[in-house]
Amino acid sequence: MSSTAGQRTRRPRPEAALSPPPPAPAEPSVPPSNASRSKPAEKRPFLLDFFPLEGPEHTKLYRFYDRLREGQLSTTRCRRDGELHWPPRTACPTCRSEDLEWVDLPERGHVYAFSAVLVGAPLGMENEVPFAVGLVDLDGVPLRVFGRIEGRPWSELRIGQTVRPEAYDIGDGRMFYRFRTVD
């Protein structure tokens, strides 16, 4: 399987949930007279809330988040041609079949590439700078997954570093995944 892994590796799609958010729009200037009518400070503009809504009323991919809540990273696989998708899909991008199954992903991978966010962090993450993001090749499957990497300072990360996916609560009950260094 490893010999074909490189050929089948999918490049991360732009719509991957953890893709860098679009540039933040300039903050609207609110005249002092309107300050009392502006929304509470903790309410963020919709466009800057780049974590998806996760319930079945919002997404057909809610099972992805249900499994994250159970601590497991998962995705979809096409029953017709066997293609493994990332991110999970509602229809196979190759054959258009909607006959997909959910599969758990390996609990280990290796850093293919990484970078560090040193300045200009997205709104709400200013206090977490610096932090690392990267591409991880999951062991045994032809998937290269983008995500944040925790566990050690970015300056100590290395290509090939062993990591494992982990689930975490982003603070409002929604779940997301990231990677954490192993050993």
Strand duo 100-104 + 162-169: pairing: unpaired
Strand blocks (E) in the chain: 74-78, 100-104, 109-117, 131-138, 144-150, 162-169, 175-181
Letters for 122-141 (x = contact with Zn ion by CB under 5 A, - = none) are --------------------
Alpha helices of 24-183 — where are they, by DSSP H? Answer: 62-69
Residue 100 makes contact with Zn ion by CB under 5 A: no
Query: Which of 9/19 has CB closer to Zn ion?
Result: 9
Number of shown-chain residues binding Zn ion (CB under 5 A): 8
How far is C-alpha 137 from the geometric centre of its chain's CA atoms? 14
Query: Which of 4/33 has CB closer to Zn ion?
Result: 4
Selected binder of Zn ion within 11, 53, 71, 81 (CB under 5 A): 81
Query: Which of 48/95 has CB closer to Zn ion?
Result: 95
Nearest to residue 139, comparing CAs of 115, 178, 112, 157?
Answer: 112
Strand duo 144-150 + 175-181: pairing: parallel
Instruction: Map the footprint of Zn ion across residues 149-168, applying CB under 5 A.
Output: none
Nearest distance in Å: CB 5, Zn ion: 19
**Alpha-carbon span 38 to 41, nearest angstrom:** 8
Residue 131, phi-psi category: left (phi > 0), alpha (psi -120 to 50), beta (remainder): beta
Nearest distance in Å: CB 93, Zn ion: 8
Selected binder of Zn ion within 24, 30, 95, 125 (CB under 5 A): 95
Residue 80 makes contact with Zn ion by CB under 5 A: yes
Query: Which of 38/97 has CB closer to Zn ion?
Result: 97
Footprint on this chain of Zn ion (rule: CB under 5 A): 78, 80-81, 83, 92, 94-95, 97
